[in-house]
Amino acid sequence: MISKEDDLNRLQRLQRGRQILEEHTTKAVRPYREDGYVNLLNKSGTSQDNSDAYSYDCEPLVPDLQLTGMYESNGLFAKVIDTPAEEALKHGFDLGLNDPDTTSFIEDALDDLDWEEKAATAIKWARLYGGSIIVMLIDDGGGLEEPLNWKKIKSIDELRVYERAVLQPDYSSLYAYDNGAVKGNRVSRFGKPEYYEVLSVFGSFRVHESRCLVFRNGVLPERVTNPVYQLWGIPEYIRVRRALQEAITAHQDGTKLLERSVQAIYKMKSLATLLATDDGENQVLKRLQLIDMARGMLNSIAIDSEGEDYDFKTFQFAGIKDVIDATCNMLSAVTSIPQNVLFGKGTGGMSTTDDTSMENYYNYIERIQKLMLRRNLRDLLDVIFRAGIRSGEIEEEPAYKLKFNPLWSLSETEQATVDKTKADTELVKAQTAQVYVDMQALDPSEVRQGLAASEDFSVEDLISEDEDLLDDLIDEIADNPEVEASEKAAEELEAPGGVEQTSSVLDPTTPPSEASHGDEGIGEVGCLVFRKGRILTGLRSKEGTFCGPGGHVEDGESPDEAIRREAMEEFGIQLGELIPLGVLGGLAEEHGRPMIYLCEEFTGEPVPDGTEMKTAEFSEPTAIIGGIERGESFEPFAKSIEMLMKELM
């Protein structure tokens, strides 16, 4: 029988059990998880899991004197600070100015102010201390503590660099609103201090922010853990401290391990018995000293032949190089500086010409240029331009576009390799063109025209231009609603007396020379001049119809000479290669039997002569054919287009 006391004890135990369970459920690691992994051997997923014991603590505040000492005494850390700053400026910039006088004025002004050195120093101090400023000593009639008067700038005399360690922003003068008084390239200063206190060893003063170029090593959240860096940035040492220490320690310890890689071993008979005597220890030490002295002076060891032995044991330290390489990789990762730049040569399997690592490094430098240099340089240029206008050296402030020059520059060896590759490519092109010329597939004039048009021309492109032109023409005709009219005209041309072809662009068995000069009865010529699938047309002054270049063959002229003359007289263009299409028959007696050519290369822009032609434009082929029935197109000209279409069908 269960008593009331037993029931009370049982209830108390249950209540205590609930309390224990509630306490366990508030822990980061729960004792039981349905969707988790629990391993009782290594404690993973349990309350004793060691991986949950790790926590992250912020780096402690580093005194400015410690930063200065590290920069002065640690060469590797100084290289981390200096290298990106110098790289950001050494390639220069371009303003896109076409006026050489203005460009010379800017270059001289920046040289007089020693801009490159001052800007590089400001970036170095920003990386070292988290921020810096350049105070511009500007003559505008006001003091350093007064806002800059842009309308009264007479000159800028000097640039002074001060690091964050000697600066104190005036937190009581933060801009609480944007008053819209933005001068030049300067942007809103909302939330920024209006004044800075400079506490230099050469004197203290108060300066207005409009006279300062501010350099910040990054942007921090509003609620920064260390208020010292609130309006600046984090010093690089805080971010790289651990990786820097590990890299330096790994190199130092590696050298110490090499010193201990060889251990001398001295064996003496009855050593333990001798050490048990009162003077035994001294005798053993004297014996070791004598052996070491002989080894150092005589480069030999003298021991007793019986009872003594002297040996060396060498230790192998496998993996030391891997550990050193790993620390170098980590330092390179946190500093964004490749190992071939930071250490002078590739390590850890990375080539000294690793394009990927250098590309990432240059992207990092570009970020420095955008965050630190771009805005400050534009502010300085605004001041210089205002001073130049006041002094009369320039007439007005030019419209410029600041662009930093590319960071990547080829060495002399690399440039020579690129030039040689280009020369070899051009030689292959020339040899290929010569083969086609020898085969009579190309004319030398075509190659010359291709070279004149572009240095990157392809011989195959020249060969395929004719075929591409005809293919485009077929596509345009097929897509045009007036194609039925052209097909009907083509059917009529198949009737007797339609077209009297002596040669064809599709018939390579007949040389072009024979097609041009073989028929002495040719008295008229015409040409279809193409540009991007359209044909050159002009409004004839007499008949009022549209036609292309053409006319009568004069005495002593060949047909191709005649059409070149007519094209120059009527449209002011010089025809290039002429492709004979054939002799057009079946026309009225007054039109004769004209020789028709195709041309897609010409020089000059078509302009009507005003006598024979009133207009000059490029028209759709089907539109010209459709104009026959309406009396708008010159019959031989339209029939020549139909002849070309028949060739393409």
| Residue 396 scores a pLDDT above 80 | yes
Give the pLDDT mean for 381-396: 92
How large is the average pLDDT for residues 523-530? 89
> Is 472 inside a domain boundary?
no
Residue 624 CA, distance from chain mean position = 50
Could you tell me if 569 and 549 are in contact, meaning their C-beta atoms sit under 8 angstroms apart? Answer: no
Query: Do 206 and 296 sit in the same domain of this protein?
Result: no
Compute and round to an integer the Cα radius of gyration of the chain: 45
How does pLDDT run across 340-371, given as a tens digit for each residue? 888 876 544 444 445 678 888 899 999 999 99
Structural domain harbouring 434: 412-456
Q: Are residues 75 and 88 in the same domain?
A: yes
Structure tokens at 484: 């039925």
The C-alpha atoms of residue 79 and residue 91 are separated, in whole angstroms, by: 19
What is the Cα–Cα distance from 551 to 637, expressed in whole angstroms? 11
Is residue 418 within 8 Å of residue 410, measured between CB atoms? yes
CA distances from 134 to 226, 479, 620 (A): 24, 68, 66
pLDDT digits (tens, 9 = 90+) for 26-85: 554 445 555 566 766 667 777 777 666 666 666 677 888 999 999 999 999 999 999 999
Tens digits of residue pLDDT in 374-386: 999 999 999 999 9
- DSSP per-residue letters across 346-397: --TT--TT-HHHHHHHHHHHHHHIIIIIIHHHHHHHHHHHHHHHHHTSSSS-
Helix 236-259 and helix 115-129, axial crossing angle in degrees, nearest 10: 80
Judge contact between 161 and 125, C-beta under 8 A: yes
Same domain, 74 and 115: yes
Whether residue 418 is found in the same domain as residue 508: no
At residue 504, the pLDDT reads 40
Q: Sorting pLDDT into bands at 50, 70 and 90, what band is 502?
A: very low
Per-residue model confidence (pLDDT) at position 491: 46
What's the pLDDT at 439? 66
Contacts of 372 (CB under 8 A, 6+ apart): 88, 122, 123, 126, 215, 216
Residue 547 contacts residue 537 (beta carbons within 8 Å): yes
Q: What are the distances in angstroms from CA 290 to CA 36, 159, 169, 298, 489?
A: 68, 69, 69, 11, 121
The answer to whether residue 339 sits within a structural domain is: yes
Mean pLDDT of 530-546: 86
Is residue 567's pLDDT more than 60? Answer: yes
Find the farthest-apart pair of alpha carbons in the chain and give their distance in angstroms, rounded. Answer: 145
Residue 98 pLDDT grade (very low, low, confident, very high; cuts 50, 70, 90): confident
Whether 47 contacts 29, CB under 8 Å: yes
Domain annotation covers residue 270:
no
Tell me whether residue 271 is in a domain: no
> What stretches of 480-504 show up as alpha helix (H) in DSSP?
483-493
| Percent of the residues in the chain that have a pLDDT greater than 70, as a whole number | 70
pLDDT at residue number 350: 41
Cα torsion angle, 246, 247, 250, 255, sign: negative
Yes or no: say if 531 and 513 are a contact pair by the CB < 8 Å rule.
no
Looking at residue 613, the DSSP 8-state letter turns out to be B
Q: Which residue has the higher pLDDT, 363 or 488?
A: 363
Q: What is the pLDDT of residue 281?
A: 84
Residues 70, 164: one domain? yes
Is the pLDDT higher at 559 or at 645? 559
Statement to judge: residues 405 and 508 lie in one domain: no
Domain final residue, candidates 409, 444, 469 = 409
Q: What is the pLDDT of residue 495?
A: 41
Q: What is the dihedral of CA 120, 124, 126, 132, to 10 degrees?
A: -60
At which residue do the structure tokens 């019986």 appear?
A: 306
Q: How far is CA 228 from CA 60, 224, 232, in A?
A: 12, 9, 8
- For residues 580 and 622, membership in a common domain is answered with yes
CATH number at residue 546: 3.90.79.10
Q: What is the DSSP letter of 44?
A: B
Burial class (CB in 10 A: 0-12, 13-18, 19+), 632: middle
CA distances from 517 to 241, 498, 559, 561, 598 (A): 88, 21, 7, 10, 16
- Mean pLDDT on 159-167: 94
State the pLDDT at residue 110.
Answer: 95
DSSP 191: T
Higher pLDDT, 516 or 534: 534
* Predicted local confidence at residue 128, as pLDDT: 95
In a domain, 462, yes or no: no
Give dist(CA 67, CA 298) in Å, integer: 50
Q: Is 303 domain-assigned?
A: yes
Task: Check whether residue 620 and residue 496 sit in a common domain.
Answer: yes
For residue 137, what are the β-bridge partners? 158
Are 248 and 145 members of one domain? yes
Q: How confident is the model at residue 487, as a pLDDT?
A: 45
Please tell me whether residues 160 and 252 are part of one structural domain. Answer: yes
SS3 sequence of 181-197: CCCCCCCCCCCCECEEE
- DSSP string computed for 73-102: H-HHHHHHHHHHHHHHHHT-EE-----HHH
User: For residue 473, is it within any domain?
Assistant: no
Range in 70-79, 414-423, 455-464 with the lowest mean pLDDT: 455-464
Q: Kindly state the helix (H) or strand (E) to which residue 259 belongs, with its residue range.
A: helix 236-259
Structure tokens at 337: 């500086």
pLDDT in tens, 249-307: 887 777 777 666 666 777 777 777 878 888 878 888 887 787 777 766 666 676 766 77
Return the structure tokens found at 385: 């331009």
Spatial neighbors of 642 by CB under 8 A, at least 6 apart, are 486, 489, 490, 493, 625
- What's the pLDDT score for residue 625? 79
Q: How far is the C-alpha of 602 from the C-alpha of 111, rounded, in Å?
A: 52
Handedness of CA 241, 242, 246, 247 (dihedral sign): negative
Q: Considering only residues 414 and 185, tell me which one the structure prediction assigns the higher pLDDT.
A: 414
Asked if the structure places residue 220 within a domain, the reply is yes
Examine the domain organization and report whether 294 and 337 are in the same domain.
no
How much is the pLDDT for 107?
93
Q: Which helix (H) or strand (E) holds 195?
A: strand 195-200
166 and 204 share one domain: yes
Q: Which of 20-34, 55-69, 167-181, 309-323 has the lowest mean pLDDT?
A: 20-34
- Per-residue pLDDT at 202: 87
532 or 471: which carries more pLDDT confidence? 532
Question: Which phi and psi (to 5°) does residue 40 adopt?
Answer: -70, -20
Instruction: State how many domains the chain has.
Output: 5
**What does the angle CA 616 – CA 620 – CA 621 come to, to the nearest 5 degrees?**
105
A 10 A CB-CB count for 26 gives 7
Tens digits of per-residue pLDDT, 230-251?
Answer: 889 889 998 888 888 888 888 7
